[in-house]
Structures are given as structure tokens and as C-alpha cells.
Structure 1
Amino acid sequence: MMSSIGSTTDALATRADDPAIMDLYRGIVETLPAHLAVIDRTGRIILVNKAWRDYAAGNGGPADAAIMVGANYLAVCRAATDTDIHAAQALAGIETVLAGDPPQFSMEYPCHSPREQSWFLMTVSPIGLGSGTGAVIAHVNITLGKEAEQALRASEIRFRAMFENAAVGIAEIAPDGRWLRVNDRLKRIIGYPVEDLLATTYRGITHPDDVDADATQMEIMRSGAVDSFCVEKRFLRKDGSAVWVNVTLSSVRAADGTVAYFVAVIEDITERKQAEERQRTLLQELAHRGKILLAVIQSIASRSLSGNQTLAEGRDAFNGRLQSLAQTYGALTHEAFEGALLEGLLRTELAAFGGRVHISGPGLMLTVKAAQTFALVVHELATNAAKYGALSNPAGHLTVTWHIGGPPAEPRLVFDWIEQGGPPAEPPRRRGFGTTLVSTVAGGDFGCEPELIYGPDGFRYRLDAPLSRLGSVQVESPVRRRLKSAPLCSLYDAWARQRGAAEFLPQLGDFDWSRFAATGALTVAVVEAGASSVRFVQVGRALVNELGRPLHDKDVGAEDETGLAEAYWRCARQGEPTHELLRFDFGDGDPLTFERLLVPFSATGSRSVTHVVGMAVYQGHTRPPVM
């Protein structure tokens, strides 16, 4: 457009002596869409075209002579310079062209109205007139181009923000596999600095086992058969470790249909893959344990229903042994099949005999296999004691103790079952399944020779077995000894197992919360660096539900009158578990009692406490005694 106007003005200057040519060019100028005006060297307008007149009429009307023929355009611009910076720029440009330097001047400027926004390009070109040098001023509406330019700029800003701040990795990849552009998230996923990543290729960091399938998919996309595909694969990080990713690769094609570049959206799915692997392992483990359990039940059934005993006696023996096995599996399930406490097995089996049984020994976590066998052994011993031994008459009593003996490098479990106050113990006339279980089976599983002693004072049973065949000793802290509720004991034991003998706190992200979160009794507090208190991010709904309203710090009256926030802060300062009995007294003479355990965690597995997790278990109403 502007070159056409320049050519027209040049021709107009060279053929001004030919009337016919002048009429032709005036007609051409009249039809041009640009707003054109010709001024002389003083700035006086000597000619305008139809587009100029129409625009003037639309803005100022026919009576607006300020920009029509005879008006001084320089004066119009000069009058507007005080309020319009673009007018001052236009004035300076026109004056330089009239002075002969530069040969042409152009500028873009806005010309907005209340109804719409518009932009124009003004071009000033010199023209020779009879009285000297003049200028042709052209204004071209560039609004559509300007709006497209602004839309493109806004789109680029949005894309850049999405690209850089996306929660997934995004990359542009050349047809030959070179990385062209990557965002920060992808750099974190792959573990490469950007300069190292751009020096390698998409194939170069792909796990060797995934290269062939990946290459085939990309070749299919290059052929034009598909424009995108999605695949789960592994990348090799800079440190050599593998990271599982879900890659959605799309092609951007050139005008001829060939691939200009690829766009890859890459999501880290390592945690999901690890969870799937854990689930597969768990299913395999469940299948394995199921087979073992069925084999144990089959053996119990075969032994219980054989021999000279009656069917009723065999059925009773089988049911009792099966119930003992079920109780053991309940304990194992509660501990996520990490084992079962020996004391727990004994107390469950002997609970019916109350104060006639004395149980003592260090905390001992039995392995899964040892727990199954030990539970059956204890069941046989208890059944025999109730039928024929010390627990068969009111005067009899039972003492069960165990301790750790032997050298420190090869510790042994010494387990004693001592019956007293009952009838004299006599060896059985025939060797049944019970005797086989407590002697041969237990000896084989525990790597020892059990002692069965029959005497006038009662029956005694002793195991002296390598501790490594049964489990491990748990060092019981004062807090653990004070715990009464089974869920709190499980929480403490799980915390203690994860901590082990290390000086570092259990790591928050590695702890198995599945057994405890469902209770609704967990409260979580964050310990922020430099703070003098804690911030609660979760309050146990079970506690809130029991109270019937939100929990307030002033509600809690602990044994040492410590408030809620202060109790959690104290646990954080100590870096050790704390135990309390809480009493909620609303003045109605019917307070509620909860038992609470607080355990510290570290988000990074260090000595620094970052979180305190509490579990409160409802103990019941604690009404004062009636006098």
C-alpha cells in the first residue's frame, strides 16, 4: 500500500505539466483506501482524497475545516503537542521531510474513540511542487494487524506461563530427537541441567529396555499414520537411576506434511508404579500365606480327627486349635503381618483364667511363622492345663516367664511354663497331636529340643531356642509400659520399629498410615522452623465427634494440666513419644476420658522434628464415685 502511494506521488511530480495525466492520477488518489493529504512547504493542505474527507466527516463533520484544504496541518499538529505526545512526534517528522532529511518518515499511533480502539500508520513522503518541496501525508488503518499482534503476544505470554509453571514436564523435540526446549518440571523429573539435556537426545536418556518400542511409535508418527501417541516408559536420570514416566507425544507438521517438531508432555508416575509393584507383591504374599494357612489347617484337621478319640473330642480339639490360629492371624493382621508380640498371644489365650495366671518377660516381637507355631503351642498347653493340670482346680495357678540368655552375639530365648497347685503331672499314655506339636513341631520350627517335665508339683515346659529363629526383642520404654489401649500400642510399636536403633526420627513419608488413618483418631501438628508453638493441620474426627463440637485448647485437662498446643510442642521439643490421660469436664459431673499418645516425625528423616502425630482413644465416662 505505502509503495503504491510513493509511486503515485513520484509520478505526479514528474508529469504535472500534462493535464490528462494529472486527472488520471487524481482519480487514482481519490480511490485509494489510505487517508491522503498533500501539503506545501509551509504545511498548508492543498489536496485531500475521498478517504481523508470521509474520515474527517465521521469524526468532526463537514464544517471541521481544521484538517481540510486550506488549513495548515503543521499548525494543527503544533496545537496538539501539549496534550498528545504522538502529535509532537508527527510534527517533528513532517518538518524533517519538508527540510529534505530524511527522505521519508513513518510512525504508528493510536486513535481511540469511546466506541472502539484503532491504530494507524502515518507515512510522510516528499513531493516536488511548483513552489518548492511539499509532502504527501498518508494515514493507513492498521487496527486488524495491531489486534492480531497483541493477541499473538498475549498468547505467547499465556503459553510461556503454562510451559514454565506446569505441574508436568513439557518439551519440544526436533525430528531427529534432539531436545529443543524443556521446562523446569521436566528438568526436575529427569535430573539433568538444561545445558546437559539439550546436548543429548530423547532416545539417549531412554531406558535400554524401552528404546525399541519407543522408536517404532515415533516412526509410525513420522509416517503420518498418527499424529500422537501415549506410552509409559523409563528415562535414565543423570545419576543413573530410572524414573517411570507417562509420555504423550504429539507432532507439529510443516506445510508439506513433514514433522517440524514434536511436543512431549511428560508425567512422573514412579510412585504409581512403585505402588503397583507393592500391590503385586502383596497379592503374591497373600496367595503364599493363604496356601500356608490352608496347609496348617489341613494338618490340624488331620491330627485332631485321628487316633482313638471320639468324634466329639476331635471336633472340640479342632475348633479350639482353629480358634487359636484365628486369634493369631488377627494379631498378625493388626501388625500388618510384620509379626506379633509374644505377650499379646499369651494374654489373649489365657485371658479366661484371670488372676490365676502370672505373665512376665521383655517385649518380644515374633516373626509370622514363629507366631503361628507359638500360638498353637500355647493353646495346647493351656488346654492341657485346664483339663488335667493346674488350671483344672481352683487352687492351681500358672506362671509364664521368659528372658533372653546366651552370649550377646548369639542370644537365646528361654521360655518357661510352670504349673503349680494342681494335681501331679503324669506323662500321657499315648502320644497325641498335642504332644507332637509342643515337642517335635515346636523343636523343628524353633531349632531346639523342648523340655516337657512331669512331676508331683505339676507340669513344666521349657524352650531354650536361638532368638534368631523366633523374632527380636523390643526395648520397652516407660511410655510403652504405660499404654493401655491396643491401637496406641500398635502406633507406638510401628513408630519404634521404623526408628529402630538409629538416632534419626522416623520419616513422615515412609510411615504406613493405613492402619491408623481409618480410626479417625489421628491429629497432626506441624512444627515450623523458628516457631515457638505448633500449627494443627488435622484434628481427629473421632475426638471431635465424641465431644459433639470443635475442640478448643482450654477444653483439655491432662494429668499435668498441659493444654493441647503445649502438649504437642513439648513432644516436639523432647523429640520422644509422650503419653497422657485426658479428661474433658464440661461441668455436668460426667467428664469424658481419653488416652493419648504423641509421636514425633521428621519430614527428612533427620533429628529435627517437623511433625507431631497424636492419637486419642476414648476410654469412657469417669463419673466421680457416689458417696
Structure 2
Amino acid sequence: MREFFMPALVDLGASVIIQDSHRNYLFVTNLPDIWANEHFSTPSDLSLFGEEVAAKLGTLKEGIIKPGNKGHIEIAVGTEQIYEFRVQAVELAKGGVHLVTTIIDRSEERHRERLLRALLREVSHRSKNLLAIIQSIALQTARYSGSLELFLHKFRGRLYSLSQSQDLITDSSWRGAYFFELVQQQTEKYLPENTHLVRVNGDNVLLTPNASLHLGLALHELIVNAVSHGSLLRNGRVINVTCARTQLNGHDALEITWDEALEISRKSDEDEEEALKSHFGSTVLERVVPASVNGKAQYVISRDRISYQLVFPLESGGE
């Protein structure tokens, strides 16, 4: 059976050691490369694996003396390789109790486990951040909503904005979202047949996940306001959205601008601004978003246009 047994062991990547009751080596095969560089006429745990590993194996084997007894330990070699030593006592019809040690390379498996744990920690961290953002949105929306119906209408829209941005972040394996795609995704829901009315240009920067979520929320407020006051579809004037690399306090930064032309109405400047600049819209654009990306913002409404400018450090919002 040896001709069949050996190829199977090699294919599985397993190593096998058989020792008698006195721990003398009777058979050893297919050792991992790190322990198979030297050949010994009388192999032993010490000569094959070194003093540290031999001591650990000795302690393990001391408790495995009766048929059916089993034990295992994992040995780390360097920072990347991990091997599992599985030892069991087997009684042969002739020859008494023998120890059978199987060595299995667990390096890849343990690497996947470490990666999974890291991903789960990242998911937990990002989920907490997202929940904090949702809580903030809920509080701000409730503060400036006069009725439950109005609250639900605004809150659902803002949650949808977050979910759209989160989809882009997830699709990029949590690296973030590109600015052009973020603008497109935040505007196409409200202008399904008139997406040409929002023109985006400049640098298509990959924004960080945090910047993607908050900038997406700002874009949501701006496009909802543009659709709500009605002049966008009436006058057909293109809204220009730009992303450009710049400098802020001597550091690389991004400058986001929203430039929207309005129809000149008969209302006074004060009435026009009061009608267009909702309380939460102003809060999220002038306070929440710039604070979240360590930046500065200007939100200006006049009789003939709306402009929004956000400048923030590149390391806080993009790469």
C-alpha cells in the first residue's frame, strides 16, 4: 500500500512521523521544506525541529501514552508560517503502542482567519460610524420638521442618499467613491430624464469612505433644493459641479463647487433666501459636512444663483 499511501500524503501536503513507545523514529516522510534540509541517520524531534519545538512536542507527547489518546499544538515559524502537529497513540497488533504525528501546514488557513477578523472589525467600525451619521440626520431632520409627515419625507430621502453612497463604497471594497460617480448617483434619482442638467468636471478623485458619505449627503441637499424650487427644470440652465485639487493652509486639498443659476423672481432677496435655504439644508452644508472632513464651506444664495464651495484637506477626503 505504500505506493498509494505516499502520493496521497504528498498531495494533501501532510507529513507523517511514526515512533515506537520509546519515541524512537521508525518512519518519517514528506517533512516541510524548513525542516527537511538536513538528513540524519537517527532522526529525532531535537535533530529535526530544534530545541524549542522539540521541547513543546516532548511536553505534548508525555500525556499521550494510552491507545486513543490524542493531542495537538501549533508551531509558528517566523511571522507567516504556522504548522499544526497532531499526535495520537495507536496500538498495533504486533509491536504495542506507537505514536503517530501528522504535520499540516495551516499558514494559509490562519492567514484567512486573521484577514476575516480584521474585516469583521472594519465592518463593526464602519457600521458604528454609519449609525452615528444616521442618528445625526434623524435628530437634525426632526429638529427642523414641522410634522411627522414632513420628517418621514425628508428622512427617507437622506437615508436613500446614504445608501447610494454606501453602495459605491462597498463596490470599491471600502476604498471610497469617485467624485464623478458620486455626483451621478446622487442626481439621477431626481433627474432621471434630465441628467444633462448637472454637468460635472475637474478631477475625478477617489474620495475616502467618510468623505463619500458626507459629500453625497451635501449633493443630495443641493439637488433636492434645485428640483424643489422649480427653476432648474423651467429655465433648463445647466448646474456646474467641479472638483479641483488646490491648497489649504499649505497642504494638498480638494475644492468642490456647485454653481446653479436661478430665474430672477419678483421676491425680495430676503424672501428668496428664506424660501430656498432650508434650516437642515443649511446646517448639513455649512456645518456637518465641512466638520466631518476637516474643511471649510461657503453656501451663498442670491436672487439669480446658488453657489456652494467646500474645501478640505486631501488626506481627509481623497487620494
Give the shorter-chain TM-score range: 0.7 to 0.9
Displacement of 1:372 = 0.9
Displacement of 1:166 = 5.7
> 2:195 aligns to what?
354
Q: Which amino acid aligns with 2:315?
A: S
Query: In structure 2, which of residues 63, 83, 107 is the aligned counterpart of residue 220 of structure 1?
Result: 63
Measured in 2, the distance between the counterparts of 1:315 and 1:255 equals 78
Measured in 1, the distance between the counterparts of 2:132 and 2:112 equals 30
Q: Which amino acid aligns with 1:220?
A: G
Matches within 5 A, 1:93-242: 167-173=13-19, 182-184=28-30, 186-188=31-33, 190=34, 192-195=36-39, 200=47, 204=51, 206=53, 211=56, 217-222=60-65, 224=66, 226-231=67-72, 233-236=74-77, 240-242=78-80
| Pair 1:257–1:438, CA change in 2 (3 A) | same
Relative to structure 2, which stretch is displaced further, 432-441 or 349-358?
349-358
| Partner SS, residue 400 of structure 1 | strand
| Partner SS, residue 260 of structure 2 | strand
Displacement of 1:406 = 2.8
Q: TM-score, with normalisation over the residues of structure 1?
A: 0.43
> 2:161 aligns to what?
324
Displacement of 1:439 = 1.1
Measured in 1, the distance between the counterparts of 2:254 and 2:233 equals 28
Q: Which amino acid aligns with 2:279?
A: G
Q: Which amino acid aligns with 1:263?
A: V
> 2:222 aligns to what?
381
Displacement of 1:180 = 6.7
Measured in 1, the distance between the counterparts of 2:263 and 2:3 equals 90
Q: Which runs of 5+ in 2 are unaligned?
A: none
| Pair 1:331–1:241, CA change in 2 (3 A) | closer
% identical aligned pairs = 24
Q: Which amino acid aligns with 1:386?
A: V
Q: Which runs of 5+ in 1 are unaligned?
A: 1-154, 473-627
Alignment of 1:449 with 2:296, yes or no, is yes
Measured in 2, the distance between the counterparts of 1:324 and 1:181 equals 66
| Pair 1:381–1:193, CA change in 2 (3 A) | same
Q: Which amino acid aligns with 1:307?
A: Y
| Pair 1:322–1:395, CA change in 2 (3 A) | same
Alignment of 1:293 with 2:130, yes or no, is yes
Displacement of 1:215 = 5.3
> 2:240 aligns to what?
399
Displacement of 1:164 = 6.2
Displacement of 1:274 = 1.9
| Pair 1:302–1:434, CA change in 2 (3 A) | same
Measured in 1, the distance between the counterparts of 2:161 and 2:247 equals 31
| Pair 1:160–1:344, CA change in 2 (3 A) | closer
> 1:466 aligns to what?
313
Displacement of 1:368 = 1.2
Q: Which amino acid aligns with 1:193?
A: N
Displacement of 1:332 = 1.8
| Pair 1:157–1:382, CA change in 2 (3 A) | closer
| Pair 1:347–1:195, CA change in 2 (3 A) | same
| Pair 1:357–1:439, CA change in 2 (3 A) | same
Which protein has greater RCO, CA pairs closer than 8 Å, 6+ apart?
Answer: 2
Measured in 1, the distance between the counterparts of 2:264 and 2:256 equals 22
> 1:434 aligns to what?
281
Measured in 1, the distance between the counterparts of 2:113 and 2:7 equals 34
Q: Which amino acid aligns with 2:281?
A: G
| Pair 1:455–1:231, CA change in 2 (3 A) | same
Q: TM-score, with normalisation over the residues of structure 2?
A: 0.80
Larger radius of gyration: 1
Measured in 1, the distance between the counterparts of 2:90 and 2:168 equals 59
Measured in 1, the distance between the counterparts of 2:36 and 2:16 equals 14
Alignment of 1:341 with 2:178, yes or no, is yes
Q: Which amino acid aligns with 1:194?
A: E
| Partner SS, residue 32 of structure 2 | helix
Q: CA offsets per residue over residues 261-306 of structure 1, 9 Å max, x none?
A: 5322222122222222222333333233333322222221221122
Displacement of 1:337 = 2.0
Contact 1:397/1:421 (8 A) holds in 2 = no
Q: Which amino acid aligns with 2:187?
A: L
Displacement of 1:220 = 1.9
Measured in 2, the distance between the counterparts of 1:308 and 1:295 equals 20
Residues matched between the structures, number: 305
Measured in 1, the distance between the counterparts of 2:292 and 2:185 equals 22
| Pair 1:435–1:443, CA change in 2 (3 A) | same
Displacement of 1:413 = 0.6
> 2:86 aligns to what?
248
Measured in 2, the distance between the counterparts of 1:296 and 1:432 equals 18
Contact 1:390/1:419 (8 A) holds in 2 = no
Contact 1:232/1:244 (8 A) holds in 2 = no
Q: CA offsets per residue over residues 239-282 of structure 1, 9 Å max, x none?
A: x33523343323356999875x5322222122222222222333
Displacement of 1:217 = 4.0
Measured in 1, the distance between the counterparts of 2:8 and 2:195 equals 69
Contact 1:390/1:423 (8 A) holds in 2 = no
Q: Which amino acid aligns with 2:37?
A: P
Measured in 2, the distance between the counterparts of 1:423 and 1:312 equals 31
